[in-house]
Structure 1
């Protein structure tokens, strides 16, 4: 069932079948992978300004603050908005199925 949801949302399976991904453009990619028998891991890959230490981005709030406070262009913001929207939809589906 979850595979069909991913396909309908536009996700594609990776070449090595380890994860599903969706490319939003502007170097923004959302990955969904199995972390165990009943666990799913969602990973957001996005460009990070060179003056930011990636290990300082532990919480989702830190990432949102980075996005809001960094000088990004309109296209990057749209890509991030779409990726975050899909991420929230996936979390909702996962929570409803548990």
Structure 2
């Protein structure tokens, strides 16, 4: 079985690297980070197309960010649950969501 994954604030792909270390097959549905050097590294290490990479999650598609994230995750056939948490100790709100296949 191959996992379909999508990540935001993807960095250089720590989550993807963990999957590889566990010998789990996966397909990158989308990834996002705003650092151009991170993007270069990510593209060098993982199979992803330009259309599935997002540079700025905050301004993605003129405020349609959350809708696009949900659509992408739902395309993986996961049941999506989400909640906005008060993370005042960490500088503001945080969105946490979980996909269950």
Task: Please report the TM-score for the alignment, with normalisation by the length of structure 1.
Answer: 0.25
The structure that is helix-richer by fraction is: 1
Compare the two structures and name the one with the higher strand fraction.
2
